[in-house]
Amino acid sequence: MKQQIAIIGSTGSIGTSLLSLIDPKDFTIVFLAANKNYKKLLSQAKRFNVKNLILTNMDSYNKAIKSNKNKKINFFNNFDFLNKIIKKKLDYVMSSFTGIDGLKPTYEIIKYTKKIAIANKESLICAWPLIKKELKINSTEFIPVDSEHFSIWSEIKNTKTKFIKKVYLTASGGPLLNYNHKFLNKVKLSTILKHPTWKMGKKISVDSATMMNKCFEVMEAKNIFNLKYNQIDILVHPSSYVHAIIEYKNGLSKLVLHDTSMKIPIFNTIYAKDKSHKVLRSLQINKLNEISFKKISTRKFPVTKILNKMPHKHSLFETVIVSINDCIVNNYLNKKAKFSNISRFILKSIDSNLYKQYKSIYPKNITEIIKLNNKIKYDLETFKKTFD
């Protein structure tokens, strides 16, 4: 019997990779969702015979309706119609919308599926207690999609946290690992966007260059695996072949490794272990011989100092950090800020009394998180005429 699935963010890199891996004989896609790329969404619908499409951008939604010739396709502009689209619990959902925009649909789809693979960082950073509670209420299985978190999950999913001494997340170091950081004020955007081991979008490429992305991944790991911040470290590993190291209290340590391809964790979220795929390569001995690790340098990557300022208990402070970073990176990409000032601006902002107050405020609901995100971005854009 075919599995009933859905993909939120089907036109992005995660959704596209998932569709390239699955066999239509194994699955019925109940709906696909995207933000703006209606042409690609319609192409996917045609290929996989999908009858329900969600386009959250109104302009793209209207264009899709006008250009579509298949009258059997149902179009929706938001996720308020899930009860009309989904007749019984889905077997699997991939949620890969990026940014805070992916938070609400990720949360709302949980009750409609038996299993959810989440690639939306903001859900796991800003709203994990709310997500976790919803997963439990609906008996929904959760799998993290990020290569580091999937690697940890695949190794420790049947292990109690009390047996884990330490978890190490690896970072390639990005395009600036060997760059003279004295000249960061002169670094070009083209350099920032040339990640040495991964193909990334512009925003996440900037986050990788500052090491903010790895800070976010530490926050995710702390939440998902119920760890303390002092149980998680970052190791610079330029080849990106090892994705995580788990150190147990019994003296054993295990490395989890795979190619620098998101297709591997994605494939394993939807297929059982007895399945294989021709695009997934075998163990590469030559890469094993090149493995090297270094501790992260706060001099090179000052934004990592954030991790020493994080409260152990979950709060709205995580949303503050995500929102401030989004704002300054967006300004950098729009040539309104220098790269050298991104980390400085973030560290200065979160140390202000205006934002430190959120360390003691627990998020009550998804709406509160979204409102705070909008407020911070509005305040920064309104009152900070320059980010330099």
| pLDDT value of residue 388 | 56
Mean pLDDT of 325-350: 93
Residue 359 pLDDT more than 80? yes
| pLDDT value of residue 285 | 86
Strand partners of residue 93: 6, 116
Instruction: Decide: pTM greater than 0.75.
Output: yes
| pLDDT value of residue 387 | 56
| pLDDT value of residue 151 | 96
Local confidence band at 237 (pLDDT 50, 70, 90 cut-offs) = very high
Q: What percent of the chain has pLDDT over 70?
A: 97
**101 burial type by CB count under 10 A (0-12 exposed, 13-18 middle, 19+ buried):** middle
Per DSSP, the three-state class of 283 is coil
Residue 129 pLDDT more than 80? yes
| pLDDT value of residue 279 | 62
| pLDDT value of residue 201 | 83
| pLDDT value of residue 198 | 79
Higher pLDDT, 250 or 285: 250
| pLDDT value of residue 180 | 80
Euclidean distance between CA atoms 35 and 49, whole angstroms: 20
CA distances from 220 to 83, 119, 132, 214 (A): 30, 11, 12, 10
| pLDDT value of residue 182 | 73
| pLDDT value of residue 384 | 59
| pLDDT value of residue 117 | 98
pLDDT in tens, 137-167: 999 999 999 999 999 999 998 888 899 999 9
pLDDT in tens, 178-230: 888 777 778 888 989 988 887 778 999 999 999 999 999 999 999 999 999 99
* Token representation of residue 322: 């995500």
Q: What percent of the chain has pLDDT over 90?
A: 80
| pLDDT value of residue 288 | 85
Residue 278 pLDDT more than 70? no
Q: What is the DSSP string of 75-104?
A: EESSSTTHHHH-SS-BSEEEE---SGGGHH
- Reported as half-sphere exposure (CB side, CA atoms, 13 A), residue 245 has a value of 20
Domain range summary for the chain, segments of one domain joined by +:
3-145, 146-308, 309-388
CA distances from 46 to 32, 239, 296 (A): 11, 38, 47
Residue 239 pLDDT more than 80? yes
Taking phi over 0 as left and psi of -120 to 50 as alpha, with beta for the rest, 18 belongs to: alpha
Domain boundaries 309-388, CATH class: mainly alpha
Q: What is the mean pLDDT of the chain?
A: 93
Residue 80 pLDDT more than 90? yes
| pLDDT value of residue 70 | 86
- Out of 3.40.50.2000, 3.40.640.10, 3.40.50.720, 3.30.70.2390, select the CATH number for domain 3-145: 3.40.50.720
Contact yes or no for 280/263 (Cβ under 8 A): yes
